[in-house]
Structure 1
């Protein structure tokens, strides 16, 4: 139902718009008839000899204005038809240009004597318009125009929408307010995993609901909490859960909402936000992507200290410091770029707590899967344990995407329920890209790809610390022409032996190409990139190299990135390069040695890949026998009925 008050305002708006249009039409109608129309001298003298000219005014010695008598005959001979149409209009003025004033004046006097005319001639060389005349002709129109636009901007500005609202409310906060009247359905039950982060955020909510519980012991309510973590880990979702649980006013906005092209707008919006928050106290302010205004000051040599973003940050720091201990206003903020934030913003007293929101671990991924699987129609063979192990490193947003993709894949196959294979296809789709079965690949290239992937599979099967294999495929997917899928072990610490085994497995593809074809190709680009970074981190970051020693050149503050600057001498740089090359060369030779020892089995595996295009862990068991090193993957795969 439309509000009657709003409807009446809209009616008044249209009434004023029509009135203004009428005034505008009258002005242009008047001006169109008041402007003189141009004729030539011959036409003028034809009109003059008939006695129809009342007077003429010569302006600036070159322009003649002609004023006709009030009564004009419609039948004037010796004048062309077009000119007749102009003349018969009552009280119409004409103008024409003259070359020589003396010649024109002499001819005019001759015609006047000859035809006994009483036409008046006058001269005007001064400025035509006076201030008074200009005001009466145009001033009223401009005043009406200004009044009309002020009215329009105020009417639109009152609603806060449209260009008028932006002009009159440009210094106002754009924060969206959630209170008890808004139906915020997200609660902490909808946030799976993140137990540590939820615990700290729940305590903040409890602060607002029951402050005396903490203040009676002498404690102070924290002024702010900063949520830090990679994209998609649930920082914003956690803030939405706070809005649903707190039952207090909740202001939500983004850091970019403070940024504007006009000077002083950002600081004005900060002031307005905190004024509104104090009025609604107790309440919560949530600033998403706070790095948009919270970057460290003084980093830009061009903008300097007068940068508008820095002024906004200064105002934010002042407002957070200006809170009293009993205002009960808490600021929540989220960012995935905590390394670039200003140190003054992170100190206690502003953001008292820094809450780390990491990617979910195995058990947390299970909980996230359970939340997102509730709305899906699942078959009996869907194994949440297996799916959670298949998605190491996935964030909560990635898992939600997997669940949605699986439903789309099942619908595409006209299934009534989502099967385990649909989830695996969704994971493959997200990690590797879209499957390209119709991509044309030459037979010799396909054979090389098969041996390349078979090399990866062989080494990963035979090395202790390599990730357990799930399947190998030579079907193109995304940019890759083939791929091997693993279930990497989730560990908190990594030893040099484990990292070397991983490097060896990555280099196995190119090693297999060299053994079988006596040449190498460009297909190992991704492998070489990962190998180089792994070896580089061993030597220069983790201190796992004997020659460099227990030294790390990593800067955790993010001010001097290792890959963009070299915090060491040229001699040390040469040693680092030599050690990186040494590690990669050793593992490459190691991979070649293992593959030559198992060349027959490598060939059988490659031929089977060429025939089936996709092979699973069970196929590797038939070729190589049981894996010499125990792992839990067989039990997981058997329980999920993945391999048949």
Structure 2
């Protein structure tokens, strides 16, 4: 059976000959031959002299007196060569022939260094005063060019030039040192050609229905432009993806690259900014030039805040002319005098507050797509995507996993699934069970368990009462999130933890703020009630409470004395000010009101714990006995908790760390 050729060669034309394999010396053999020729030329034109260095005394007493000298030649007015009579000296001048560079010339037998030609002639004349005129020796003078001395400074320069030719050739051929230095202003964007099959599609983007609909419309415009152009519609020039880290901005861009079937250029915003002046602007021009040559095309700039920061923000302390020149060139390419039809720009950032306003205006980035943390239904879809490659046990429930992961982003969910598989593999299981996912969640949120950490019995008792104080206060306050478990096993940097299951909220009332502050102060209050002294273990709790109190007073306008005033700056312009945007009297009032809020919450917490002192003691002793107390045991000790049925959509901490309250040393 014959094997068919895969080449599509037109009839009547010969297939192109394959290029010879690269390698070998190339043109370097020319440099090698040139080097050998120079070395041979230097050797034969200046043979290595075997003359013996002598002194004037030896010349006068042993040679001149005994009349053994046949000729003396002074070379370059620096030294004299002494030829003796028993040498068969070939004198070229006697034959009338010019000296040959490659002729066999016998060198002098002796050599003497002269300080001065006049002094040497005077000494020689004195030494030959008694000689007859026929026996006197004449002095000949020669000026010789030493190729060795010439090459001593030519050869290093030539070697340096050859070295740079070699480096530039390697850089130009895409060697390990990167692209050519002559192409430093060229764009470094990665190109995904049309027709390239991508491994990421919109089916891999779970949740984010509204964001997917917006982006898929752009993709559909590229595939079927006539549907929109018949009505006079124009394609958006730019789409800005904004959202917290891990919400899927880059994933959506990868899906666009896989679905659009048009040339797709992707690069990071930091690749525009270099230490060389003008490189960033040159790369922007080259990027858009390449994109326009392949229209319709898409450009994706990840982390655009690296180059798109607001000009002038931060005063003169953080000015960067090179970055601003790059931004100006980017603004011109997006919407300037030159046409930019057929090129769509996608950009992603998690810091929209620092971007320049000129970059965000319509005509440059017409659409701003905000990606938020996924809801419960969206988390279910994301779990289904990341559970596909795992071998799951029958007890794995996607609904329960979505309920136990509020505030988690898509990246966090992917990390949980991978960590659960690692835990199951570590235990030599054949499938991943539901309990493995719970361990993975605890591992990611709280850190690794450190059962080997040794603490003293007194410290362990303090931690037990501290965590019991958090649990009791949280159990009897209706506006605190549902309690899941309490643990005094060291995990990460904490010695103990209280786990909550926060509700998905959008706003927070003043009563909810107060109850949350009381729950955070429960550990410190329990220590003061039981031991009549306090420790440094409440540092994390006090930091959280202080921030909440100042936010209530100065941001949310929840204080009666200050009233409905907010000093929150969403634009970030107050960062340029060295002082606070309010007077000293207002600052003193804010401090007093925040302190009063914290003190009121602390007194309320102590009163609640004194009322339930027996429950506090029983829970602390149970913690000392079994180290971890689950929700079922809490219900047996504290009774059935009255859940807050008012689903007031109140906002909670976006981080998964809101799931626990930690006790740190």
TM-score (norm 1): 0.85
Structure 1 residues 217 and 103: alpha-carbon distance in aligned structure 2, compared to 1, 3 A threshold: same
Does the alignment pair 1:56 with 2:74? Answer: yes
Higher mean C-alpha deviation, range 391-400 or range 269-278: 391-400
Partner of 1:503: 517
Structure 1 residues 584 and 150: alpha-carbon distance in aligned structure 2, compared to 1, 3 A threshold: same
Shift of 1:264: 1.3
Does the alignment pair 1:20 with 2:31? Answer: yes
Where in structure 2 are the equivalents of 1:159-558 lying within 5 Å?
159-163=173-177, 165-299=179-313, 302=316, 307-322=321-336, 327-558=341-572
Give 5+ residue unaligned stretches, structure 2.
Answer: 1-15, 89-103, 648-665
Residue-by-residue CA offset, 1:69-119 (whole Å, 9 max, x unaligned): 99979xxxxxxxxxxxxxx99659998755576554444455677895757
Structure 1 residues 452 and 209: alpha-carbon distance in aligned structure 2, compared to 1, 3 A threshold: same
CA RMSD of aligned residues (A): 3.7
Distance in 2 of aligned mates of 1:72 and 1:427: 100
From 146, 153, 168, the equivalent of 2:168 is 153
Structure 1 residues 7 and 298: alpha-carbon distance in aligned structure 2, compared to 1, 3 A threshold: farther
Shift of 1:558: 2.0
Distance in 1 of aligned mates of 2:186 and 2:23: 24
Distance in 2 of aligned mates of 1:304 and 1:67: 76
Residue-by-residue CA offset, 1:438-472 (whole Å, 9 max, x unaligned): 11100000000000001111111111011111111
Partner of 1:122: 141
1:224/1:350 contact within 8 Å kept:
yes
Where in structure 2 are the equivalents of 1:86-101 lying within 5 Å?
91=107, 98=114
Structure 1 residues 10 and 497: alpha-carbon distance in aligned structure 2, compared to 1, 3 A threshold: same
Secondary structure of the equivalent of 1:15? coil
Shift of 1:559: 2.2
Structure 1 residues 102 and 314: alpha-carbon distance in aligned structure 2, compared to 1, 3 A threshold: same
Secondary structure of the equivalent of 1:560? helix
Distance in 1 of aligned mates of 2:112 and 2:562: 97
From 544, 568, 593, the equivalent of 2:607 is 593
Structure 1 residues 272 and 444: alpha-carbon distance in aligned structure 2, compared to 1, 3 A threshold: same
2:280/2:326 contact within 8 Å kept:
yes
Does the alignment pair 1:566 with 2:580? Answer: yes
Greater fraction helix = 1
Q: Number of residues paired by the alignment?
A: 607
Distance in 2 of aligned mates of 1:347 and 1:182: 33
Higher mean C-alpha deviation, range 329-338 or range 254-263: 254-263
Q: Which has the higher relative contact order, 1 or 2, with Cα contacts under 8 A spaced 6 or more apart?
A: 2
Which of the pair has more CA radius of gyration?
2
2:383/2:402 contact within 8 Å kept:
yes
Secondary structure of the equivalent of 1:547? coil
1:254/1:290 contact within 8 Å kept:
yes
From 21, 26, 46, the equivalent of 1:8 is 21
Shift of 1:27: 4.2
Distance in 2 of aligned mates of 1:260 and 1:491: 43
Distance in 2 of aligned mates of 1:94 and 1:588: 107
From 579, 594, 598, the equivalent of 1:580 is 594
Shift of 1:392: 2.0
Give 5+ residue unaligned stretches, structure 1.
Answer: 74-87, 634-644
Secondary structure of the equivalent of 1:475? coil
Shift of 1:359: 1.6
Structure 1 residues 41 and 69: alpha-carbon distance in aligned structure 2, compared to 1, 3 A threshold: closer
Higher mean C-alpha deviation, range 147-156 or range 321-330: 147-156
Partner of 1:82: none
TM-score (norm 2): 0.82
